[in-house]
């Protein structure tokens, strides 16, 4: 991965977070973090 691609992906993530907090008050981010937490717990069980 080149620096240009990494910068572009980081920029997309930041834009997505800003839009989520602006228009939905962070509900989408909270939903994704809860699902990520559940997935990590599920994977830890199979370890």
What is the structure's pLDDT at 3? 96
Can you give the pLDDT at residue 1? 85
Tally the domains of the chain: 1
Nearby residues of 27 by Cβ (< 8 Å), 6 or more positions away = 20
- Across the chain, mean pLDDT equals 94
Question: How many CB atoms sit inside 10 A of residue 25's CB?
Answer: 10
Which residues of the chain register pLDDT less than 70?
none
- pTM of the entire predicted model: 0.74
Domain region containing 29: 3-45
Q: Which helix (H) or strand (E) holds 42?
A: helix 27-45
Give the pLDDT confidence score for residue 45 in this predicted structure: 80
């Amino acid at each position: 991965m080149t620096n240009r691609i990494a910068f572009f992906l980081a920029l997309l993530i930041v834009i997505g977070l800003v839009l989520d907090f602006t228009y939905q008050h962070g509900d989408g981010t909270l939903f994704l973090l809860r699902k990520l937490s559940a997935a990590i717990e599920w994977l830890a069980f199979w370890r």
